[in-house]
Amino acid sequence: MTMKNRIGIAAIAILSGAVLLIGGATGGYAIAAHTSSTSPTSLTADEASAQPVPCNLRLVWDRVEQDYLAVYEDSAMVSYTGVYGRIANLSCTDADILEWQQHRRVNDLDAVVCRPVLAADVIGTVSPIGCAVPTMVVTGEPR
C-alpha cells in the first residue's frame, strides 16, 4: 500500500469513529431525556401528592354471572395488612367502601375493610395509628 492509501484509510476510519461517537451520544441523550420525562420516579413531592394511588376496592363486571364482583387488590399500605386486615387506600371514599361492602355481603363474602387513620408527629412524619371502618347510619330524622 502506498502512503496515500494509508492516509485515506486512516482518515475514513477516524471520520467513521467520530460519526459513530456523535450518533451514540445524541441517541443516548434522547433516550435519557424521554425516560426522565415519562418516569414516575422523577415526580416532585407536590406532583406525587397530586396523583394519589387509586382506590383498591373495585367492582368488576362478571360476564358469566351478569353481575358485579367486588374485588380487593393489595393496598398501598400492604405492610399493615397483618395488623389491620384488608386496608382501603386513602383515595377510597366512604361511598366506595360502603358500595364494595354491600356487593360482598350480597354474595355472602367477608366484607371487612378499613381505612387507615394517620397522624403526623412534630417533625412531620406521618404514620398509621389505627384503622377506621365506615358504616352506614340511617336514622328516621331528616338531615
User: pLDDT digit string (tens) for 20-76?
Assistant: 667 665 656 555 554 444 444 444 444 445 557 899 999 998 898 888 888 899 888
Which pLDDT value is given to residue 120?
87
**Lowest-confidence region among 29-43, 54-68, 84-98, 124-138:** 29-43
Residue 78 has what DSSP assignment? G
Which pLDDT value is given to residue 20?
65
User: pLDDT digit string (tens) for 13-22?
Assistant: 677 766 666 7
The pTM assigned to this predicted structure is 0.57
Q: How far apart are CA 60 and CA 67, in angstroms?
A: 8
| Segment 115-131 mean pLDDT | 86
Q: How far apart are CA 118 and CA 125, in angstroms?
A: 10
Buried b / exposed e along 57-85 (16+ C-beta atoms within 10 A): beeeeeeeeeebebebeebbbeeeeeebe
Residue 41 has what DSSP assignment? G
Which pLDDT value is given to residue 139?
72
pLDDT-derived band of residue 127, with 50, 70 and 90 as boundaries? confident
Average pLDDT score, the chain: 77
